[in-house]
């Protein structure tokens, strides 16, 4: 979540073509969302269609409207960019809604491994269709669907053993050491791709038609990202930090973070982004400010906004 905050607060520099962003973006854009999707699949729970509507589509619509109003004032060309898809960053809510519906249907008949294969085949076929990501984020949502299915499979086969802290004995050290080596190797490969083939870094949002080489590149990179994310999960301690418990309240931050980013990064400080205080604020200050959305007070307010009590009654 912190990587996503940094990504969105520093996008003005990516638009400017800053060299640093050439290397930062593939890491803070691709790996966190892949990880986020795997974890979402890992914690998937079967719910009624009405509960899913309220849990995912209601906040998607609400913050599409809020972000649209702010985007009209601060984000350049906002309405042309988002006229055929959910508002800024809200595509993930639509994705979770679709993933949950499809998971509920598919898992009634097939096990986790078959489900993963179905998700991959569906995503592969959509990648062949010449529809750009400008329409309902279709390429981005479809290519992350196998990651969600992979998370569901991890939960079924690994259970709570996915957290290495639960494993006893000397195995922990060996597993973590191996994860560090694999993760470092993947990072080196990713840096080499960025340096020699920078046009390949955005492949996960592009369709490839019947170009076999492009398809292999896209899914090869996705495979590496999934392996890297598993290593990150293994290495991440299950702890409580000063701003949040591990893994909790991230959706509050995801929904709210665009508001200060639009106002500060694209509004108040946009013309001063290359001053020292602009650089410090956009790269560090705004992401830290957004961590306030992890707080218990914000969580209490958001539970009312997101109709948690209504969803609880539906579940009962």
Q: What is the pLDDT of residue 239?
A: 67
Tokens representing residue 119 in the block: 């998700």
pTM of the model: 0.88
CB atoms within 10 A of CB 53: 17
Say if CB 134 and CB 85 are below 8 A apart. yes
Tokens representing residue 47 in the block: 């719910």
Q: Alpha-carbon distance 214 to 58, whole Å? A: 36
Q: 298: Cβ–Cβ under 8 A, 6 or more apart, which residues?
A: 249, 252, 256, 292
Say if CB 274 and CB 10 are below 8 A apart. no
Q: What is the pLDDT of residue 286?
A: 95
For residue range 137-181, what is the model confidence (pLDDT) as tens digits? 898 899 999 999 999 998 887 765 555 555 445 566 777 888 899
Alpha-carbon distances of 232 from 146, 184, 186, 229, 273, rounded to whole Å: 18, 11, 12, 5, 32
Q: What is the pLDDT of residue 177?
A: 86
Run of H or E including 271: none
- Could you report the average pLDDT of every consecutive run of 10 residues in the chain (316 residues)? 89 86 75 87 87 90 93 89 88 93 91 92 91 86 93 80 52 79 89 78 74 86 90 77 70 94 94 94 94 90 86 70
């Amino acid at each position: 979540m912190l990587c996503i905050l940094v990504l969105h607060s520093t996008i003005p520099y990516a638009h400017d073509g800053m060299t640093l962003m050439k290397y930062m973006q593939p890491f803070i854009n691709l790996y966190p969302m892949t990880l986020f999707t795997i974890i979402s699949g890992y914690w998937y729970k079967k719910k009624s269609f009405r509960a899913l509507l309220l849990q995912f589509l209601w906040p998607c619509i609400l913050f599409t409207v809020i972000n649209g109003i702010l985007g009209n004032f601060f984000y350049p060309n906002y309405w042309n960019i988002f006229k055929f898809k959910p508002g800024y960053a809200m595509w993930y809510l639509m994705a979770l809604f679709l993933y949950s519906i499809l998971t509920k249907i598919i898992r009634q008949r097939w096990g986790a491994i078959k489900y993963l294969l179905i998700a991959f085949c569906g995503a592969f076929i959509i990648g062949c269709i010449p529809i750009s990501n400008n329409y309902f984020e279709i390429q981005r949502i479809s290519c992350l669907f196998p990651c969600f299915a992979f998370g569901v499979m991890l939960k079924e086969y690994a259970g709570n053993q996915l957290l290495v802290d639960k494993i006893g004995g000397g195995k922990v050290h060996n597993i973590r050491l191996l994860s560090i080596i694999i993760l470092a190797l993947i990072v080196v490969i990713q840096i080499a791709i960025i340096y020699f083939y920078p046009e390949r870094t955005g492949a996960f949002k592009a369709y490839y038609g019947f170009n076999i080489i492009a398809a292999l590149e896209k899914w090869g990179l996705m495979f590496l990202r999934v392996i890297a994310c598993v290593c990150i999960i293994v290495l991440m301690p299950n702890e409580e930090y000063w701003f949040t418990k591990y893994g909790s309240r991230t959706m509050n931050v995801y929904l709210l973070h665009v508001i200060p980013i639009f106002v500060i990064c694209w509004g108040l400080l946009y013309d001063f982004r290359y001053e020292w205080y602009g650089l410090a604020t956009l790269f560090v200050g705004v992401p830290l400010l957004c961590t306030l959305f992890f707080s218990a007070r914000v969580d209490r307010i958001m539970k009312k906004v997101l109709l948690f009590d209504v969803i609880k009654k539906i579940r009962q």
